[in-house]
Structure 1
Amino acid sequence: MTPVLSQSLTLEDFLELPELEQSPAWEYVAGHAVQKPMPKLRHSLLQKRLLTQLDGLNENYLTLPELRCTFGGRSIVPDVVMISFNAIQFNELGEPEDQFLTAPDWAIEILSPDQSSNRVIDNLLHCLKHGSKLGWLVDPNDYSVLILTAPQDVKICRGDQLLQVLPDLELQLTAQDIFNWLKLGKKE
Structure 2
Amino acid sequence: MKSGNKRSPDLSFVARERLQGLKRLPKGFFVGAPDLAVEVISPSNTFAEIHSKLVEYFDSGAKLVWVINPDEQSVLVYRQPQPDKLLKLTDSLDGEEVIPGFTLLVAELFAELDF
Give the TM-score, by structure 1 length.
0.52
Q: Does 1:123 align with 2:53?
A: yes
Runs of at least 4 residues of structure 1 off by over 4 A? none
Q: Report the Cα offset of residue 156 of structure 1.
A: 1.2
Aligned to 1:18: none
Q: Report the Cα offset of residue 153 of structure 1.
A: 4.8
1:86 aligned counterpart, secondary structure:
helix
Q: Report the Cα offset of residue 101 of structure 1.
A: 1.2
Q: Report the Cα offset of residue 152 of structure 1.
A: 4.0
User: How many residue pairs end up in the alignment?
Assistant: 111
Aligned to 1:34: none
Q: Report the Cα offset of residue 120 of structure 1.
A: 1.7
How large is the Cα RMSD of the aligned pairs? 2.2
| Rg comparison, structure with higher value | 1
Q: Report the Cα offset of residue 151 of structure 1.
A: 7.2
Unaligned runs of 5+ residues in structure 2 are none
Alignment map for 1:57-68 (pairs within 5 Å): none
Q: Does 1:169 align with 2:75?
A: no
Aligned to 2:38: 108
Q: Report the Cα offset of residue 177 of structure 1.
A: 2.0
Aligned to 1:83: 14
Deviation per CA, 1:55-95: give whole Å up to 9, x if none.
Answer: xxxxxxxxxxxxxxxx11121110100002333363xxx22
Q: Does 1:144 align with 2:74?
A: yes
Instruction: Give the Cα separation in 2 of the matches to 1:165 and 1:172.
Output: 6
Instruction: Give the Cα separation in 1 of the matches to 2:38 and 2:68.
Output: 7
Unaligned runs of 5+ residues in structure 1 are 1-70
Give the direction of change, closer, same or farther, for the CA distance of 1:173–1:111 in structure 2 (3 Å limit). same
Give the direction of change, closer, same or farther, for the CA distance of 1:142–1:126 in structure 2 (3 Å limit). same
Q: Does 1:185 align with 2:109?
A: no
Instruction: Give the Cα separation in 1 of the matches to 2:25 and 2:96.
Output: 23
Q: Report the Cα offset of residue 111 of structure 1.
A: 0.9
Instruction: Give the Cα separation in 2 of the matches to 1:149 and 1:125.
Output: 11
- Specify the code of the residue in structure 1 equivalent to 2:14: I
